[in-house]
Amino acid sequence: MGTCETGPQDRGSHVICAQVTADFLSFTKSMGNELSSPAPSLGFPGLKPGNRWCVCALPWKEALDAGVAPPVILEATHESALLYVSLENLKRQTRHDA
């Protein structure tokens, strides 16, 4: 598995590694960011519940505030996520494998 990386080309701060859920995908769609449909011209495969993806920090925080934030894979999340979300909130949403 990879990790979330960022740089000047990352306009959305895709720094939180999350395992997306149906609730999160529905929420982001309602906010104008439809993540389920592929966008081949952008190299985007479209997401399904259970996929891991580096999501934008601010929409993830909005989803957290709305009670629909997907689980976080903390070890794959970029440290710059802490500019947007507290470590406590990330840890609270951390996915724990059984």
The model's confidence at residue 13, banded by pLDDT at 50, 70 and 90, is: confident
Q: Which domains does the chain have, with CATH numbers?
A: 14-92 (3.30.56.110)
Q: What is the pLDDT of residues 40-71, one digit of tens each?
A: 998 889 999 999 999 999 999 999 999 999 99
- 52 forms beta bridges with 19
Write the DSSP assignment of 24-80 as a string of letters.
Answer: HHHHHHHTT---SS-BGGGTB----TT-EEEEEHHHHHHHHHTT-PPPB-GGGS-GG
* Spatial distance between the Cα atoms of 70 and 85, rounded to a whole number of angstroms: 14
- 18 forms beta bridges with 53, 72
Q: Which pTM does this prediction carry?
A: 0.88
